[in-house]
Amino acid sequence: MSENPTYTIKVNKAETSKIGSVNFDDLPFGSIFTDHMLYSDYKDGAWGDPVIEPYAPMPMDPSSRVFHYGQAIFEGMKAYRDENDEIWLFRPDQNFDRFNKSATRLAMPEVPEEIFMEGLKHLINIDKEWVKKGKGNSLYLRPFMIATGHGVIAAPSAQYRFMIILSPARSYYQGEVKVLIAEHYSRAANGGIGAAKAAGNYSAQFYPTRLANEKGFQQVIWTDDATHTKLEEAGTMNVFFKINDTLYTAPAGERILDGVTRKSILELAERENIKVEVRSVLVEELINAAKDGSLKEIFGAGTAAVINPIVGFSYQDTYYELPKQDNPISLQIKDKLTNIQHKLAEDTFGWTVKI
């Protein structure tokens, strides 16, 4: 806890735990939650003391601004239990910083570090039995903030609620992923909120993704809004391309989320002497590389799956299958990264933080 805390965390523990009814060998991602949740309310220009109480529905006024004007942001994080039964976070400072950047972009108040970090650690300690040992097991952490002020006038809210909920998770595997390159729809535009983890970014993806699903594809690789010639993200993840012996990924910016997994892969690649170029990759480049055999791999990168290989892509009704790799760089990187997260390898970067 902070040496000089300015907030008091109020705790109301659940009388009984539901952990005994959970099958930890069969965990649909993000659908089962732990016994407790944390919240802190913002009103009259200040944050109130955080409260930890049993996970439960909460009452909301029908005119709450989040329902009408979409002021809602979130983060995705994980906690891991190592072989010594110690629990670790992975680069939580990056999530905290990005959360408040998202808040600023949506005209929401920043959350104090003490509420975010100390509240998160306190909540995990209370529900620590939900963090299971073993590579592939984790506790998914979902900090989020919504506008709770009343009234349907089109203006920022004056009241907000910051919350954290926790969900046990296992390795997230989607099977073979085939993607459709977007020719009309865009994930984000210059001057928009693409760099924020705003709820609306994700809801806007659902319709074009459903269209792709109907054609037999699991995800969409988004292209830039102006020309649809630059490859940007894959579904809800940052995307990497391996052409010959070089990894390529688009630069983070107004349209592209500054992913924590993405930046970790870039730093790992540098340490492992893997050639990387951070620049826009053109659709035309990708197709030419697929045709001449220099395109070796495509993979998405994000908190839930860590790395998700892509087996092929379609553009203008032509499908391009990627060659099978004996020792794909995507899985090599995933193994090194998850070993650090689970404390199975030395953390030379200082990324892990003990609870």
In SS3 terms, 292-329 reads as HCCEEEEEEEECCCEEEEECEEEECCEEEECCCCCCCH
Whether 335 is in a domain gets the answer yes
246 belongs to a structural domain: yes
Domain end: 144, 171, 198, which one? 171
The answer as to whether 281 is a domain residue is yes
Same domain, yes or no, for 240 and 122?
A: no
Q: What is the CATH number of the domain that holds 116?
A: 3.30.470.10
Residue 33, in any domain of the structure: yes
Q: What is the pLDDT of residues 209-233, one digit of tens each?
A: 999 999 999 999 999 999 999 999 9
Task: Return the CATH number at 192.
Answer: 3.20.10.10
Asked whether residue 188 falls in the same domain as residue 152, the answer is no
Q: How many domains does the chain have?
A: 2
User: Is residue 157 within 8 Å of 147, Cβ to Cβ?
Assistant: yes
Examine residue 353 and state whether it is found in any structural domain, yes or no.
Answer: no
Q: Please tell me whether residues 111 and 189 are part of one structural domain.
A: no
- Nearest by Cα to 55 from 171, 200, 168, 134: 168
Asked whether residue 159 falls in the same domain as residue 24, the answer is yes
Domain that holds residue 218: 178-341
Q: Are residues 66 and 142 in the same domain?
A: yes
Q: Are residues 140 and 277 in the same domain?
A: no
As a whole number of angstroms, the distance between CA 6 and CA 211 comes to: 50
For the stretch 266-278, pLDDT in tens is 999 999 999 999 9
Residue 105 scores a pLDDT above 90: yes
Give the residue carrying structure tokens 């965990």. Answer: 27
The pTM of the full predicted model, rounded to 2 decimals, is: 0.94
Could you tell me if residue 349 is inside a domain?
Answer: no
pLDDT of amino acid 176: 84
Same domain flag for 160 and 186: no
- The predicted pLDDT at position 24 comes to 94
**Domain boundary, last residue among 171, 188, 211:** 171
When pLDDT is averaged across residues 183-191 and rounded to a whole number, the result is 92
Provide the angle, in degrees to the nearest 10, between the axes of the packed helices 329-341 and 260-271. 110
Give percent of the chain with pLDDT exceeding 70.
Answer: 98
Identify the pLDDT of residue 1. Answer: 44
Tokens of 135: 């590579």
Q: What is the pLDDT of residue 171?
A: 78
Residue 173 confidence class, pLDDT cut points 50, 70, 90: low
pLDDT value at position 304? 87
Tens of pLDDT, residues 330-339: 999 999 999 9
pLDDT 10s digits, 109-166: 999 999 999 999 999 999 999 999 999 899 999 999 999 999 999 999 999 999 999 9
What Cα–Cα distance (Å) separates residue 131 from each residue in 128, 341, 345?
A: 5, 13, 19
Q: Residue 55's closest CA among 171, 149, 142?
A: 142
Q: What is the DSSP string of 242-283?
A: EETTEEEEPPPSSSS---HHHHHHHHHHHHTT-EEEESPEEH
The answer to whether residue 189 scores a pLDDT higher than 50 is: yes
- 28 shares its domain with 106: yes
Asked if 270 and 307 sit in the same domain, the reply is yes
Last residue of a domain, one of 156, 171, 186: 171
Those residues with Cβ within 8 angstroms of residue 293's Cβ, 6 or more apart along the chain or in another chain: 323
Domain presence at residue 355: no
DSSP state of 15: S
Residue 56 lies in a domain: yes
272-301 per-residue burial string, b: 16 or more CB within 10 A, e: under 16: eebebeeebbebebbbebbeeeebbbbbbb
Is the domain of 115 the same as that of 190? Answer: no
Same domain, 123 and 193: no
Q: Measured between alpha carbons, how far is 258 from 252 in angstroms, rounded to an integer?
A: 5
113 and 41 within one domain = yes
